[in-house]
Amino acid sequence: MMYKVVVPGDFISDEVDRAGEGTYVDNGKIYALNYGIVSDKGAIKVVALSGKYVPTMGDVVIGRIVELSYPFWIVDIASPYEARLHLSDFSRGAERRIDFSSMSNYLDLGDWIIAKVQKVDALMRVDLGLEDEIKIDDRGRLIEISHTKVPRVIGRSGSMIKMLKEKCKCFIFIAKNGRIWIKGQDENMNLATQVVLMIANEAHTSGLTDRVAHFLDSYEEKEK
Amino acid sequence: MKEEGIELIKDGKRLDGRGFEELRPIKIEVGVLKRADGSCYFEMGNNKALAAVYGPREMHPRHLQDAKTAVVNYRYNMAPFSVDERKRPGPDRRSVEISKVSRAALDPVILKEYYPKTAIDVYVELLQSDAGTRTAGINAASVALADAGIPMKDLVSSIAAGKIGGEMVLDMNAPEDNYGEADMPVAMIARTDTITMLQMDGRFTKEDFKRGLVLAKKACHEIYELQRAALLDKYSERAGEGGEE
Amino acid sequence: MGLDIVEDIRKDYVYDLVGSGKRIDGRGFLDYREISVERDLISKAEGSALVKLGDTSVLVGVKLEPGTPFSDAPNKGIIMTNAELRPGASPDFETGPPNENSVELARVVDRGIRGSGTIDLEKLCIEEGEKVWMTFIDIHALDNDGNLVDAAALGAIVALLHARIPNEHYGITGADDTLAIRDTPVAVTVVKIRDAILVDPNLSEETAATSKLTVISNADGTLSGVQKSGREGLKEDEITEMVDICIEKAGEIRSKHLG
């Protein structure tokens, strides 16, 4: 399959009923809306190579507490839109009542969390919900790539991320908004970071999985 | 502004040897700035334009936000050293007007509805100027917007046509612009031949004007191909056949 | 806010009317509103004109002062055009530094006068390299019901045509006291709403329009200024049609008000 890069306004196809994300239809023809790669399976889409993350319901994101605004924590999710987490979400059960002064005992400014986007309304207010009260701790490392590269880091049916976890011997969690949490020994985290950045840089190319596998294998060899 | 004086057409050729419809050499580089979300360096003859796009990002002040769409801001600025006689830093009236018409040149293609309440900020710096700077700026900005991943229906291309020494020409340099009879900067969507910016300054006939539009259309098509090629070029290494995910 | 909603409703109304070939005030698509021109009403100014296009009202004052010429044009007078969109003229106008609309208005009017060579700048030379007349054209928008530019441009040319050079006041003897005006540029603005071209948009029409084009033409039909604005593009044939309309309407205005 050829990876075809298109620019906005490029003609893609006449099959207007297959027009998908990243395209628009004008006079019976599909044109590109995004600067990106044409994806031809099923719907005809143009996957953007750059651009900001806009949250949608169901996305799992890694966010950072930037403001305590009772009864919400305001969360930066690497998007033009801020998100908020209601404190009732944190306290399971009615007994635990959190007031403003004790908010920071649970989540403080600068804390990182994993959360799910529960709702985005018409005014672009983004509500988050904590899945398992996961606060990202100090162990490990957080890196950030463009959200557009996340599918590549995951790979088809998770093949790429699986290979990374095995060969780098790290815990790796990739969030939809491009933030990645890596945990492991220092050299392993370094390797994982290097490979993730490599994938992000070459996300538009083909044969990437093989190249990454090759790189990891030869690294392993060198270490022996 | 339109002075008499130097002979701009000699023996059927322009002072720099170009043909009447010949554009100055163009060089385009995509993604040249690290901090900006999208960027483009655009040279057109001696013009050096650098466009940086930030956004979509949170819009401040809040009361200027649009609840339904992004707000596109365009700021054209000439560096003090960009011209013969040093230009005092800061926005002058000319820059304010150019910013307004340039923003309007790009507005029609941007899918602003995708990012309500945000700002898309376009900053165009002219590092060196030799007439036609607003057109160089728009050409650069169009590429920078694509580079930033802003969804757009089309790219926008821009050129100035004009009348010098009694002849209609394209892409005037500074002496031609200063001593010519008229100039008309144009911006266009090459795919649909839709004009998104049109100004005219000086004095010429309706027929000259129509001819100017025809010439500008031809030039915009040429420029579009170069803009497109530069964008494709950025990802061309190792984008090839046969492959998997 | 409330104003936006009212504007949206009016936009739809204008839109629907145009679809049935009508305008809010009952005009034909190619008709101007009633134009009134009153001149020499500000005695402190060397020239002045109050132009009304329907409910749009613009006062233009011309002041002349001796000053130093630019170094690259030692024997030429200077023209400076400025526009103020006074807050009293509209709830949308604010005090403060000139915004892009007032800057554009001034520069477009200026372009028409300068490009056409309306004022013979060499005749404004008092002493080469030392002293020339500076012509200040100040546009004061008093009431905005759309199409300030046509009113401003008409006011400017009327004020210039009848301006008196204040020679006596500055102790200059034996000189002409009228400006050497060589042409009569007239600005005509049209808008596109749906597929129709409308001349002299009022405020509702300006807001509802997808595109606006101002064409400044001279007595011999040549052009001295073109400015497009608006949020959508125009096709070549639409533009040429608009230019033709504007040149024709300019001729009508010229014969009625600048004869």
Tokens linked to C121 = 């700048």
* pLDDT value of position A92: 60
Substitution target in C100, C111, C216 with the highest count of B β-carbons within 10 Å is C100
pLDDT confidence bin for B225, thresholds 50/70/90 = very high
Calculate how close chain B gets to C69, using CA atoms only, in Å: 14
Please state, for a pLDDT cut of 90, what percent of chain B lies above it: 82
Tens-place pLDDT, residues B150-178: 999 999 999 999 999 999 999 999 999 99
What are chain A's partners, defined as 3 or more CB pairs within 8 angstroms? B
Helices B93-106 and C100-115 sit at what angle, rounded to 10 degrees? Answer: 100
In angstroms, the Cα distances linking C112 to B84, B132, B203, C61, C135 are 27, 20, 9, 17, 15
Q: Chain B residues within 8 A (CB-CB) of chain C?
A: 1-3, 93-94, 96-97, 99-101, 104, 107-108, 182, 184, 188-189, 192-206, 209-210, 213-214, 217
Kindly report the number of other CB atoms within 10 A of residue A206's CB atom. 19
Question: Cβ(C49)–Cβ(C37) under 8 Å?
Answer: yes
As a CATH number, domain A60-136 is 2.40.50.140
Give dist(CA B87, CA B129) in Å, integer: 11
B58/A206 Cβ within 8 A:
no
The nearest alpha carbon in chain B to C79 belongs to B1
Please state, for a pLDDT cut of 70, what percent of chain A lies above it: 95
Instruction: Give yes or no for residue A50 having a pLDDT over 90.
Output: yes
As a CATH number, domain B24-231 is 3.30.230.70
Tens-place pLDDT, residues A3-30: 799 999 999 999 999 999 999 999 999 9
Tens-place pLDDT, residues A53-93: 999 999 999 999 999 998 999 999 999 999 999 988 766 65
The nearest alpha carbon in chain A to B146 belongs to A35
Contacts of A107 (CB under 8 A, 6+ apart): A65, A73, A85, A90, A113, A135
Structure ipTM:
0.90
pLDDT confidence bin for B199, thresholds 50/70/90 = very high
**Least confident residue range of A126-135, B34-43, C147-156:** A126-135
Contacts of B168 (CB under 8 A, 6+ apart): B20, B161, B162, B208, B211, B212, B215
Tokens linked to B214 = 């025809």
Ordered DSSP codes for B109-137: GB-GGGSTTEEEEEEEEEEE-SS-HHHHH
When the pLDDT of each residue in chain A is averaged and rounded to a whole number, the result is: 89
pLDDT confidence bin for A165, thresholds 50/70/90 = very high
Instruction: Give yes or no for residue B74 having a pLDDT over 70.
Output: yes
Question: Cβ(B185)–Cβ(C95) under 8 Å?
Answer: no
Segment (H or E) for C255: helix C236-257
Mean pLDDT of A121-127: 93
As a CATH number, domain A5-48 is 2.40.50.100
Calculate how close chain A gets to B130, using CA atoms only, in Å: 29
* pLDDT value of position C93: 86
Instruction: Give yes or no for residue A146 having a pLDDT over 60.
Output: yes
* pLDDT value of position C1: 39
Ordered DSSP codes for A116-179: EEEEE-TT--EEEEEEEEEEE-SSSEEEE--GGGHHHHH-GGGHHHHHHHHHHT-EEEE-TTSE
Contacts of B225 (CB under 8 A, 6+ apart): none
Mean pLDDT of A168-193: 92
B38/A50 Cβ within 8 A:
yes
* pLDDT value of position A93: 57
C221/B206 Cβ within 8 A:
yes
* pLDDT value of position C23: 94
Closest residue to C239, CB basis, from B99, B198, B205: B198
Neighbour-count burial of A101, counting CB atoms closer than 10 A to its CB (0-12 exposed, 13-18 middle, 19+ buried): exposed
In angstroms, the Cα distances linking A5 to A46, A50, B28, B224, B234 are 9, 12, 18, 16, 10
Tokens linked to A104 = 């920071």
Strand-pair category, A29-32 with A23-26: antiparallel
The residue ranges of every structural domain in chain B are: 24-231
Instruction: Please give the CATH topology (third level) of the domain spanning C24-257.
Output: Ribosomal Protein S5; domain 2 (3.30.230)
Buried b (16+ CB within 10 A) or exposed e, C199-237: bbbbbbbbebbebbbbbbbbbeebbbbbbbbbeebbebe
Placement of tokens 């309440």 in the chain? B117
Q: What is the 3-state secondary structure (H, E, C) of A46-74?
A: EEECCCCCCCCCCCEEEEEEEEEECCEEE
Calculate how close chain B gets to C239, using CA atoms only, in Å: 9
* pLDDT value of position B244: 33
The nearest alpha carbon in chain C to B192 belongs to C235
Closest residue to B116, CB basis, from A26, A82, A124: A124
pLDDT confidence bin for C8, thresholds 50/70/90 = confident
* pLDDT value of position B238: 45
Question: In chain C, what residues touch B99 (CB-CB under 8 Å)?
Answer: 100
Residue C44 CA neighbour count, 13 Å, CB half = 0
Substitution target in A6, A23, A35 with the highest count of B β-carbons within 10 Å is A35
* pLDDT value of position C205: 95
Give dist(CA B130, CA B172) in Å, integer: 9
* pLDDT value of position B1: 41
Question: Cβ(A150)–Cβ(A123) under 8 Å?
Answer: no
Tokens linked to A192 = 């994982």
C222/B205 Cβ within 8 A:
yes
Ordered DSSP codes for C184-251: --EEEEEEEETTEEEES--HHHHHH-SEEEEEEE-TTS-EEEEEEESSS-EEHHHHHHHHHHHHHHHH
pLDDT confidence bin for A130, thresholds 50/70/90 = confident
pLDDT confidence bin for B241, thresholds 50/70/90 = very low
Level-2 CATH architecture, domain A141-223: 2-Layer Sandwich (3.30)
> What is the three-class DSSP state of A205?
coil
- φ, ψ (nearest 5 deg) of residue B131: 70, 140
Give dist(CA C212, CA C197) in Å, integer: 9
Instruction: Please give the distance of CA C133 from its chain centroid, rounded to a whole number.
Output: 22
Tens-place pLDDT, residues C162-194: 999 999 888 888 777 899 899 999 999 999 999
Question: In chain C, what residues touch B1 (CB-CB under 8 Å)?
Answer: 114-115
A9/B241 Cβ within 8 A:
no
Ordered DSSP codes for C47-114: EEEEEEETTEEEEEEEEEEEEPPPTT-TT--EEEEEEEE-GGG-TT--SSS--HHHHHHHHHHHHHHH
**Least confident residue range of A175-189, B5-19, C99-113:** B5-19
* pLDDT value of position A1: 39
Question: Cβ(B244)–Cβ(A8) under 8 Å?
Answer: no
Calculate how close chain A gets to B75, using CA atoms only, in Å: 21
Compute the residue count for chain C: 259
Give dist(CA C194, CA C191) in Å, integer: 10
Tens-place pLDDT, residues A186-207: 889 999 999 999 999 888 888 8
Contacts of B50 (CB under 8 A, 6+ apart): B32, B33, B39, B40, B41, B42, B124, B125, B127, B140
Residues 85-144 of B with CB under 8 A from A: 109, 111, 114-118
In angstroms, the Cα distances linking B157 to A190, B134, B216, C231 are 44, 11, 10, 16
* pLDDT value of position B202: 96
The residue ranges of every structural domain in chain A are: 5-48, 60-136, 141-223
> What is the three-class DSSP state of C161?
helix
Tokens linked to C165 = 């050079």
* pTM listed for this prediction: 0.92
* pLDDT value of position A137: 74
For A78, which DSSP code? Answer: S
